[in-house]
Amino acid sequence: MSEISDNPTAQRARLPAFLRKVDPAVATAFGCIILLLIVGSIYSSNFLSPDYLVQQLKVASFLGITAAGMMLVILLGHIDLSVPWVMTMGAMMACAMAGYGTTGHVLAIPFGVFCGALFGLINGFGVAYLRIPSMIITLATNVVAQGLMVLYTGGFSPQDSAPPAVRWLATGFIIPGVPNAILVWAAVSALMVFLFARTAFGRSVYGIGNSERAAYLSGVNTRWIVMTAFVISGALSAFSGVLVAGYASKAAQSMGDAYLLPSIAAVVLGGTSILGGKGSYLGTIAGVILITLLQSILSVMQMPEAGRQIIYGVVIVAMLLLYGRSPATR
């Protein structure tokens, strides 16, 4: 009798219905957010002020859009290491397009996103059809994107400024007190939730992540799904880069480097299995907010960048040990 009562499944069954639906990883992430808010308030009295928290959500929105694409790829059991320079390329190309008059201003954002989607298409084709490991192909395209941008700029920061529309999208206000960047992240989040919960594409992503062979045998066009996921990841990375350029008023070399590890950490912290097939977008949102608050506290503590990268690595390894050790069935 005691063995039954000690069983985690039996213990979970005794919980209220609304608690049984809560993912433990998501609950843990939100619990850590509350803990970080308490710790931050100890270091700074302004940490819990509404203006500061809104500013943190604004900063989190850029990471959140990048993490949305990263989660899609990780759910498939793959990884996208081309994020840094796809972000940079999207930002630089959007700013460059703005130099072509009124038409360039109109096409700036679509062109930047298109460049990211194009590299995502190369990644997806390599993984889905050429069967190249995602870690290899995305690392290679990241280097190619870096080379193209260095060739374009001559190795210096580009002189093109972000067009007004991009700056407004990143820093302006439609609703007083709520930055547009937060609204853009909310719109992307709503689309991702709809994609995962209400479409055959979303269900196929989970199915491939659990077992690509079983998904294929059940009639899913696995190659097309994988390729499309990488296209979306590339497009979202480039879009995030465009917004960061709007936030900073211009693009810069290596501006995407600071987003690779945090985007992976945010997805993993939210409970998405690095092996694929398991995870919720709500968890990714919690992971993004958690990483942003952690960055803020480390900044207040004047932690050097090297220390922050060490902490991200430790966090990813710890979460892998907690959530990523379930057996994979491929």
DSSP 33-99: HHHHHHHHHHH-TTTTSHHHHHHHHHHHHHHHHHHHHHHHHHHTT---TTHHHHHHHHHHHHHHHTT
Question: Three-state SS string across 189-241, please?
Answer: HHHHHHHHHHCHHHHHHHHHHHCHHHHHHCCCCHHHHHHHHHHHHHHHHHHHH
Q: What is the pLDDT of residue 328?
A: 42
Yes or no: say if 290 and 29 are a contact pair by the CB < 8 Å rule. Answer: yes
* Residues 115, 111: Cα–Cα separation, whole Å: 6
Q: What is the pLDDT of residue 27?
A: 85
Yes or no: say if 145 and 89 are a contact pair by the CB < 8 Å rule. Answer: yes
For residue 309 the two structure tokens come to 């990268």
Q: What is the DSSP letter of 163?
A: P
251 φψ region: left (φ > 0), alpha (ψ -120 to 50), beta (else): beta
pLDDT in tens, the chain (330 residues): 444 445 545 555 555 554 556 678 788 888 888 988 888 888 777 888 889 899 999 999 999 999 999 999 999 999 999 999 999 999 999 999 988 888 888 899 999 999 999 999 999 999 999 999 999 999 999 999 999 999 988 877 776 788 899 999 999 999 998 999 999 999 999 999 999 999 999 999 999 999 999 999 999 999 999 999 999 999 999 999 999 999 998 888 889 998 998 899 899 888 898 888 888 899 999 999 999 988 888 887 777 878 877 877 787 677 667 655 444 434
Residue 134 identity: S
* Residues 256, 122: Cα–Cα separation, whole Å: 19
Yes or no: say if 136 and 79 are a contact pair by the CB < 8 Å rule. Answer: no
Kind plus residue range of the DSSP H or E element containing 178: strand 178-179
